[in-house]
């Protein structure tokens, strides 16, 4: 049964809602009428002389255009000017690009005063100053790290870790010691210094800039065999902030290697060879992020070996029973003595205290 007001036969098929719905899309609601810019005069008003059919509503008179576009343009200009001002006056400008300086090296061979003591590796170590040293990388300990004024504790730990990684790669890696590769060391060097590193590896010179022994420890595998893992190590790492963008790490370590002649059997006596390395590393934030270091200075004293003009390259240890020819005795140097001290730039005499007392 059709409801009240419905057509007798119900709503026509296909027209839901009936006749009212059919015209609902063209019926203007109250909000639309209020927003209209033109308003039609009433019939009585149109009867007046010279009356127009429509009039403008008060909110849309020709002389009262909207000010919103002008206000929007002014706001955009104000924001743009503020951004430029803050960009010029911003005190937190990106740090200046830091360029790594060349590494300065000093390599001092230490000549023995008599024949080089020989014996079994364990016996030599037990009767040497390295008896209490740790083996390998365990002897390179990180100090307690804390934050500095401009670097977090994590960044300080990273700098110390990179310095340790460099010492391990350049002083303990078997393939580096034998001269088979330099890659583990090169990967840790700041790119600004890699060309200097490559020249030092290809054509080492004792000129203060290109001494390979300043970068790493290398023995001649045709003459010397390093007994691994018998190398003993002891030393210190220290850190300091040198300005708002740079950290510095100072390493002071003594490495004691146990060697045998390469062209002999295991029955030949072993001997000890000591390398004292003092190095300064510098890190900017990019170095810390990329896990690499800039090397500032490297001071090396190593013996027993003969004083030679090319002492800046591959180390040439004197092995068990060997000695240097008589010569003017240079200053006595103890490679086990740590701390800041001057070293003889060309050659030194190995302190008897640095040799095993058998």
For the ranges 24-38, 96-110, 192-206, which has the lowest average pLDDT? 24-38
Q: Please state the length of the chain.
A: 358
Separation between Cα atoms, residue 105 and residue 277, nearest integer Å: 11
Cα 89 from Cα 100, distance rounded (Å): 29
- In sequence order, the 6+-apart residues with CB closer than 8 A to the CB of 52 are 41
H-state helical runs in 247-310: 285-290
d(CA 353, CA 358): 12
Strands, E assignment, 182-331: 224-226, 232-243, 246-261, 271-283, 294-303
Whether the upstream peptide bond of residue 210 has omega within 30° of 0, thus cis, is no
User: Alpha carbon 334 to chain centroid distance?
Assistant: 34
How is residue 77 annotated by DSSP?
Answer: H
DSSP H or E stretch at residue 104: strand 104-111
With tokens 């300005």, the residue in question is 243
276-297 mean pLDDT: 97
Q: What is the pLDDT of residue 52?
A: 59
End-to-end CA distance of the chain: 125
**Range in 27-36, 144-153, 245-254 the model is least confident about:** 27-36
Q: Report the distance separating Cα 171 and Cα 269, nearest Å.
A: 23
Among the ranges given (40-44, 76-80, 252-256, 257-261), the one the predictor scored with the smallest mean pLDDT: 40-44
Instruction: Tell whether the model's pLDDT for residue 81 goes beyond 50.
Output: yes
3-state secondary structure (DSSP) of residue 12: coil
Q: Each residue of 98-142: pLDDT tens digit?
A: 788 999 999 999 999 889 999 999 999 999 999 999 999 999 999
- Give per-residue pLDDT as tens, 229-244: 789 999 999 999 999 9
Which helix (H) or strand (E) segment holds residue 333: the answer is strand 332-333
Cα–Cα dist 106/299, whole Å: 5
Distance of alpha carbon 256 from its chain centroid, rounded?
Answer: 30
Does the pTM surpass 0.75? The reply is no
pLDDT in the model for residue 27:
56
Question: How far is 133 from 154, CA to CA, in rounded Å?
Answer: 28
User: How far is the C-alpha of 317 from the C-alpha of 111, rounded, in Å?
Assistant: 10
Report the distance separating Cα 270 and Cα 263, nearest Å: 13
pLDDT band for position 70 (cuts 50, 70, 90): confident
Distances in Å between the Cα of 297 and the Cα atoms of 236, 248, 285 are 16, 11, 20
Residue extents of the structural domains in the chain? 36-87, 104-354
The per-residue pLDDT for 60 is 47
pLDDT band at 333 (very low <50, low <70, confident <90, very high): confident
Q: From start to end of the chain, where are the E strands?
A: 38-40, 54-56, 104-111, 134-135, 224-226, 232-243, 246-261, 271-283, 294-303, 332-333, 348-350
């Amino acid at each position: 049964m059709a409801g009240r007001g419905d057509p007798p036969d119900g709503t026509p098929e296909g027209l839901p809602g009936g006749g009212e719905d059919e015209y609902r899309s063209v019926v203007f609601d109250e909000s639309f009428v209020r927003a209209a810019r033109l308003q039609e005069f009433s019939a009585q008003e149109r009867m007046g002389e010279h009356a127009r059919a429509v009039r403008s509503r008060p909110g849309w008179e020709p002389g009262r255009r909207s000010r919103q576009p002008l206000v929007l343009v002014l706001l955009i200009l104000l924001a743009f000017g503020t951004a430029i001002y803050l960009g010029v006056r911003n005190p937190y400008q990106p740090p200046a690009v830091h360029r790594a300086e060349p590494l300065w090296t000093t390599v001092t061979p230490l000549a023995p005063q008599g024949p080089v003591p020989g014996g079994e590796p364990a016996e030599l170590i037990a009767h040497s100053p390295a008896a209490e040293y740790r083996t390998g990388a365990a002897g390179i300990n990180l100090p307690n790290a804390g934050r500095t004024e401009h670097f977090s504790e994590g960044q300080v730990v990273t700098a110390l870790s990179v310095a340790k990684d460099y010492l391990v790669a350049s002083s303990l890696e078997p393939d580096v010691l034998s001269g088979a590769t330099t890659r583990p060391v090169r990967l840790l060097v700041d790119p600004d210094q890699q060309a200097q590193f490559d020249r030092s590896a290809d054509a080492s010179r004792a000129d203060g800039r290109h001494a390979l022994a300043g970068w790493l420890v290398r023995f001649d595998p045709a003459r010397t065999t390093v007994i691994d893992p018998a190398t003993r190590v002891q030393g210190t790492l220290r850190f300091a902030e040198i300005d708002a963008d740079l950290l510095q790490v100072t390493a002071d370590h003594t490495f004691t290697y146990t060697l045998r002649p390469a062209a002999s059997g295991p029955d030949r006596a072993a001997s000890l060879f000591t390398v004292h390395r003092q190095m300064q590393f510098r890190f900017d934030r990019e170095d810390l992020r990329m896990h690499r270091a800039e090397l500032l200075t490297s001071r090396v004293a190593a013996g027993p070996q003969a004083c030679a003009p090319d002492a800046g390259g591959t180390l040439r240890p004197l092995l068990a029973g060997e000695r240097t020819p008589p010569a003017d005795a240079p200053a006595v140097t103890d490679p086990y003595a740590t701390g800041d001290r001057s070293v003889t730039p060309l050659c030194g005499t190995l302190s008897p205290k640095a040799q095993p007392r058998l």
